[in-house]
Amino acid sequence: MLNIVLFGPPGAGKGTVAKKVVEEKKLVHLSTGDILREEIERGSALGKEAGQLIAQGQLVPDEVVVAMVREFVKRKIPCSGFIFDGFPRTTEQAKELDAIMAAQGAAITMMIALEVSEDEIIRRMLSRAEIEGRPDDTIDVIRKRIATYHEKIKVTSDYYKAQNKYYTVDSSLTPENTLRQILSIVKGEG
């Protein structure tokens, strides 16, 4: 199996790039942000709890997202692999993900972090907010989410660095360019 953890600040084009990698490598895409937004739309109990935290730019509790991911992985296996988009965001989630994969006789192949400047992130997200009308894309919330991301990425990337599974990709150009860089890393891994 090819199991990629895709990391990136909000607005780095993580969702778009993930979909392209999924098509190319026939993987299953798991975006915890997308699942949480679906729950909010459905008005479920989970959605109501998560909705308030997301609107404030805060992370949803580990046990909530871990349970969501465990269910999702169980449901999709057997498959040729996963791309985890926006998960794990804490060391606790990373450890739980290892356990989830090990229970299926699999492992995380690599973590890839998309890199893009803060100015470019804000520019992209404000334009996305106009198009999609997402309630969490206001300038204050965007700054808070970027700050939260920077606080969290060090811990999580250290986790994968320690396993020699950490790679970075320049995501400031086109999604196609980002895809090319990712595919060459995957190829290098064999």
Site residues (vs ligand AMP, CB under 6 A)? 10, 32-33, 36, 53-54, 57-60, 65, 86-89, 93, 145
Report in angstroms how near the CB of residue 91 gets to ligand AMP at its nearest: 12
Min. distance of Cβ 148 from ligand AMP in angstroms?
7
Tokens for 161, please give them.
């660095």
CB of 102 to ligand AMP, least distance (A): 19
Q: What is the DSSP string of 102-144?
A: HHTT----EEEEEE--HHHHHHHHHHHHHHH--TT-SHHHHHH
Least Å distance, CB 122 to ligand AMP, is 14
Shortest-Cβ-distance residue relative to ligand AMP: 33
Q: Which is nearer to ligand AMP, 2 or 53 (CB)?
A: 53
User: What burial letters (b/e) apply to 112-139, b meaning 16+ CB within 10 Å?
Assistant: bbbebeeeebbebbeeebeeeeeebbee
Closer CB to ligand AMP, 120 or 180, in the complex: 120
**Would you say 10 or 13 has its CB closer to ligand AMP?**
10
Torsion of CA 143, 149, 151, 157, to 10 degrees: -160
